[in-house]
Amino acid sequence: MSGDERVIYAREFLAGARKRKVTELPPSVLVRELAEARRVLGQVLDYLAEGAGGPEQRAVLAQALADAIAHREPPGDCPDCRLTDALWCRAHEDGMEAIGAYRQLGLTLGIEVPR
């Protein structure tokens, strides 16, 4: 099973599990579902530990994150930023929050995001 197949199966399993109400399932079904969930989680964590997609895809993702960060960075001449008492105007404050999320995603995935 390839990495992509592990992730696809995990998504399918979770989608199916979310359709069932836990309070309505008998204990035997819950035990089997928990065992399968543990197995699937292990496969996905193994996939992530393997580098999730190989060096080429990780390099592309790193560049995509860097591009997204560059797109969100406030320009030096924003009139709205100059008029506010805060560091940035509301739009650029949102952009800085997004930049933080992009950087955190890179850290979580073990990807160094170029500056």
Give me the DSSP letters along 38-60: HHHHHHHHHHHHTTSSHHHHHHH
The C-alpha angle 113, 46, 5, rounded to 5 degrees, equals: 95
Q: What is the mean pLDDT of each run of 10 residues along the chain (115 residues)?
A: 75 86 85 88 77 72 89 81 80 84 85 76
Token pair 């099973």: residue: 1
pLDDT at 1: 55
- Cβ count within 10 A of residue 61: 17
